[in-house]
């Protein structure tokens, strides 16, 4: 029985036509296998390259790039808006800077705190992006242009690194020699409806790495911008507290570094003029008076500032020919003095839609509160002149500015050349690499298929 069944099955199997294997079946299977292995290897290679590129190009401070430099550093004659590809200060340090600037033209929807930096010896542009800060008020450039004080960070622009020992507070002013810094206590308190209080103001010595003076303020608010100034030798502090200027000697500080003012000058509605308020002799300080004019260049903005000098001995106005008035200007920041008769300042220029708020609402100390400010001018105020001399004006959209006071006071200016924006930032290199890989993979795949087809041809 078993033998007959086996024989029948053999006859049936012999009658079945043989299976036909398509030509090239095994070669096609082998090709698909190779392609899958190549795709996996390519994906792993891309991953390794991306990780390696990210590690190799992670943001670190690079050496100062070599390039053409001017024999004499100075303020540029032209300022440009740095494009999105501009390298950051931490990635590629610009070196000693001439200007720190910001405004609507510099900021973007993705980089709302972006500021630009331009070097003093060449048109090297870099960008800073960190805590929200306004150049000239919450972000200051040291008089020699080496340091940028942004919020609570002090950045060395030669190395791009943040100084570890720095004052813990928001900036008010650099000393004329740049070695001491005035800052306000960050623990500002708010009292409804619209009152702020700053507990104290400190003077920090960068060489010693510690405070040398603390001035208790009490209930006064010390906003950034132009409310403090150190004397040329850094030994005396002028601080505006409410409607007074407090004069305090650093040498009067005790073991606890606290000191009380030796004199308080009433302002009667005026303002301390800025970080350069002390005259070179150290015996007078400059204050700003505010009035309303009828023939202002901007009819809707009638604020006029007048510069006067007050003696630090008795507080009386000093004699001398008047300085020219500053009509239709939203703010004034005095940078320093070329002589007792020539002052250098930054002034805000309001646009045609600027809003001049009444005196009782004037708690704003920066252009970000002055609606419609469209530019900043660097000017020289000379005794007896009818109008200030304009040295520089920012282009449209750059409304925040801090300059190296040493360059501005000395009048050092250089001709602007071709801007340099530094090496591409990490994100640009990464995006370019990914795009190159995405383009290369299909091309390589097509070349491989073309080669395989040629091999299969008889």
**CATH level 2 (architecture), domain 75-414:** 6 Propeller (2.120)
Res 32: pLDDT:
65
DSSP string spanning 179-243? SEEEEE-S--EEETTTEEE--EEEEEETTTTEEEEEEE-TT----SSSSEEE-TTS-EEEEEETT
Sequence-distant (≥ 6) Cβ neighbours of residue 121 within 8 angstroms: 69, 70, 73, 95, 96, 414
Give me the tens of pLDDT residue by residue for the chain, a chain 458 residues long: 567 767 766 776 666 666 565 655 556 666 665 666 655 555 555 555 554 444 444 444 344 444 455 568 999 999 999 988 899 998 889 999 999 999 888 887 777 789 999 999 999 999 998 777 888 888 999 999 999 998 878 999 999 999 887 778 889 999 999 999 999 887 766 666 556 677 889 999 988 888 999 999 877 778 777 789 999 999 999 999 888 899 999 999 888 899 999 999 988 778 899 999 999 988 999 999 888 887 777 777 888 899 999 998 888 888 888 999 998 888 899 999 999 999 999 999 888 777 776 654 444 444 445 567 889 999 999 999 999 999 999 998 899 999 999 999 999 999 988 899 988 766 666 776 777 777 777 777 777 777 766 666 55
Strands 75-76 and 413-414: parallel
* Three-state DSSP state, 166: coil
**Apex 282 CA angle, 279 and 283, nearest 5:** 95
Selection from 106, 87, 226 nearest residue 157 by Cα: 87
Res 163: pLDDT:
86
Res 33: pLDDT:
59
Selection from 238, 245, 184 nearest residue 214 by Cα: 184
Selection from 65, 103, 110, 68 nearest residue 87 by Cα: 65
DSSP string spanning 248-275? EEGGG--TT-B---SEEEE-TT-EE--T
**Contact by Cβ (8 Å): 337, 285:** no
**Contact by Cβ (8 Å): 394, 101:** yes
Q: Is the preceding omega at residue 393 within 30 degrees of 0, hence cis? A: no
**Contact by Cβ (8 Å): 76, 99:** yes
């Amino acid at each position: 029985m078993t033998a007959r069944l086996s024989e029948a099955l053999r006859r049936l199997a012999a009658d079945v036509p043989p299976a036909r294997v398509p030509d090239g079946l095994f070669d096609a299977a082998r090709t698909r296998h190779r392609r899958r292995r190549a795709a996996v290897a390519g994906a792993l290679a891309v991953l390794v390259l991306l990780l390696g590129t990210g590690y190799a190009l992670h943001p670190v401070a690079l050496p100062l790039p070599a390039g053409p430099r001017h024999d004499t550093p100075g303020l540029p004659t032209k300022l440009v808006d740095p494009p999105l590809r501009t390298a950051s200060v931490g990635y590629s340090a610009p070196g000693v800077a001439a200007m720190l600037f910001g405004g609507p033209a510099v900021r973007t929807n993705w980089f709302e705190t972006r500021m630009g930096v331009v070097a003093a010896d060449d048109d090297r542009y870099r960008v800073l992006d960190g805590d929200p800060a306004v150049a000239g008020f919450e972000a200051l450039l040291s008089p020699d242009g080496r340091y940028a004080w942004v919020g609570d960070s002090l950045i060395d622009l030669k190395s791009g690194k943040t100084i570890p020992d720095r004052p813990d507070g928001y900036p008010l002013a650099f000393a004329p020699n740049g070695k001491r810094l005035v800052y306000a206590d960050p623990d500002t308190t708010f009292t409804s409806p619209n009152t702020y209080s700053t507990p104290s103001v400190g003077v920090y010595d960068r060489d010693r790495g510690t405070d040398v003076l603390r001035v208790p303020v009490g209930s006064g608010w010390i906003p950034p911008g132009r409310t403090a100034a150190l004397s040329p030798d850094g030994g005396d502090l002028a601080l505006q507290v409410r409607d007074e200027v407090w004069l305090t000697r650093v040498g009067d500080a005790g073991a606890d570094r606290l000191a009380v003012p030796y004199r308080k000058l009433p302002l009667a509605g005026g303002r301390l003029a800025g970080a350069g308020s002390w005259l070179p002799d150290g015996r007078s300080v400059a204050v700003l008076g505010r009035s309303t004019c009828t023939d202002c260049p901007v009819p809707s903005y009638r604020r006029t500032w007048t510069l006067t000098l007050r003696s630090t001995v008795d507080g009386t106005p000093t004699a001398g020919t008047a300085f020219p008035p500053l009509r239709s200007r939203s703010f004034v920041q005095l940078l320093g003095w070329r002589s007792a008769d020539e002052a250098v300042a930054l002034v805000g220029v309001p646009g045609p839609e600027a809003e001049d708020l009444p005196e009782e609402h004037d708690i704003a100390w920066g252009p970000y509160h002055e609606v419609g400010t469209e530019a900043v001018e660097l000017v020289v105020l000379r005794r007896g002149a009818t109008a200030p001399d304009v040295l520089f004006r920012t282009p449209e959209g750059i409304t925040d500015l801090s300059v190296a006071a040493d360059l501005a006071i000395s009048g050092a200016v250089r001709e602007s050349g071709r801007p340099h924006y530094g090496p591409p930032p990490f994100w640009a290199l990464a995006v370019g690499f990914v795009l190159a890989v995405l383009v290369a993979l299909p091309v390589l795949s097509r070349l491989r298929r073309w080669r395989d087809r040629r091999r299969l041809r008889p």
